[in-house]
Amino acid sequence: MNLTVLNLVFGAVIALISAVIGAFMLYYLGERGLRERSLEALKEEIQDNLEVLNVLQSIVKEKKGGLPPLYTDAYIFARSSGLLTNSSKDTRNQLAKIYLEFS
């Protein structure tokens, strides 16, 4: 009888540990995927803005005027969600300078 109770307790502990590990892995992999997708969106946004700036470069040189607003959604999301906190301070400062200058 004691062996049966011990087996039940042991089984419950193993199930609990497995559930905790599974939940942690699901959270970690989901967070990692979100980070990767967000940083990829930020990279694409920067590339799109570069293309826009290259097209407008000749126009801006001829006219003394401001640039139209550039894409900023991915940067705003990455910054406000804390995805850039693991980036170097230099990278964060460069991104802030770029986006503040052209927004």
On whether the CB atoms of residues 75 and 99 are closer than 8 A, the answer is yes
Tens digit of each residue's pLDDT (9 = 90 or more) over 30-55: 777 888 888 888 888 888 888 887 77
Question: Is the confidence at residue 72, as pLDDT, over 60?
Answer: yes
- Mean pLDDT of the region 59-84: 76
Question: Is the confidence at residue 67, as pLDDT, over 70?
Answer: no
Q: DSSP of 53-93, one letter per residue?
A: HHHHHHHHHHS--PPPPPP-HHHHHHHHTTTTTTS-HHHHH
Domain count of the chain?
1
Q: How far apart are CA 47 and CA 3, in angstroms?
A: 65
Q: How far apart are CA 74 and CA 35, in angstroms?
A: 11
Which helix H or strand E contains 28, and what residues bound it?
A: helix 2-62
Q: Is the pTM of this model over 0.85?
A: no
